[in-house]
């Protein structure tokens, strides 16, 4: 069985795999890298523990499809989706199906490390959600318009698309987004998605 702090990297970008591996090995993690989802499937089988850094967009089996395959095979790794901005809606969908987080390229090394340490040390998602009832109370502090923007952000929609849908300016969307993040005490879009999931539990 793999150690608890094993990090699996599945990304078709060789430079990205190498840089992530060097970073994580320097932090004391056991790291395994794979150039494709197919290779990961062929070489790994349950039980596995640790965290999977998974690129959303890859040739052949993409990150979203791999997530589905892992669920069918009973492999329950914590997953962080690595995404370009255009792929955020796909990453949001993956989170709603169980991925723990997603991070947008380009990202700071410390941001990734902070999220990894948090995920590897936290309780199961459902326990974590239910231990934070104050988060639901914070949602009640949003205005009607902020609530609309919150829901669209949680769907992975970009600011310009939210502006068009609500017939407001992009600057107004940015203001609402900043207010939402301040009121909810969150720092990323992934946190907003997580709260939206919490609301449905």
pLDDT tens-place values along the chain, 201 residues long: 344 579 999 999 999 999 999 999 999 999 999 999 999 999 988 778 899 999 988 999 988 889 889 888 888 889 999 887 666 677 777 787 788 888 888 889 999 999 898 888 874 444 444 445 666 678 889 999 999 999 999 888 889 999 999 999 999 999 999 999 999 888 888 888 888 877 765
For residue 146, what are the CA distances in angstroms to 94, 95, 115, 125, 178?
A: 24, 22, 26, 26, 10
Which pLDDT score, from 0 to 100, does residue 170 have? 95
What confidence score (pLDDT) does residue 134 get? 67
The CA-based diameter of the chain, rounded to the nearest angstrom, is 53
Give the model's pLDDT for residue 132: 57
pTM: 0.75
Domains and CATH numbers, the chain: 6-122 (3.40.50.2300), 129-200 (1.10.10.10)
- Would you give the DSSP letter of residue 141? T
pLDDT at 186: 84
Dist CA 130 CA 147 (whole Å): 21
């Amino acid at each position: 069985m793999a150690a608890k702090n094993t990090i699996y990297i599945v990304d078709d970008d060789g430079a990205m795999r190498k840089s992530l591996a060097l970073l994580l090995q320097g932090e004391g993690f056991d790291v395994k890298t794979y150039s494709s989802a197919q290779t990961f499937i062929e070489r790994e089988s349950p039980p596995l523990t640790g965290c999977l850094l998974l690129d959303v967009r890859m040739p052949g089996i993409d990150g979203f499809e791999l997530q589905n395959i892992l669920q069918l095979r009973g492999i329950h790794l914590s997953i962080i989706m690595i995404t370009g901005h255009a792929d955020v809606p796909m990453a949001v969908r993956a989170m709603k199906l169980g991925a723990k987080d997603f991070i947008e390229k380009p990202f700071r090394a410390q941001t990734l490390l902070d999220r990894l340490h948090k995920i590897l040390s936290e309780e199961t998602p459902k326990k974590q959600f239910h231990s934070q009832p104050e988060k639901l109370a914070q949602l009640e502090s949003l205005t009607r318009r902020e609530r609309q923007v919150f829901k669209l952000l949680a769907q992975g929609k970009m600011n310009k698309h939210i502006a068009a849908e609500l017939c407001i300016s992009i600057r107004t969307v940015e203001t609402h987004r900043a207010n939402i993040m301040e009121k909810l005490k969150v720092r990323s879009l992934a946190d907003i998605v997580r709260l939206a999931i919490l609301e449905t539990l």
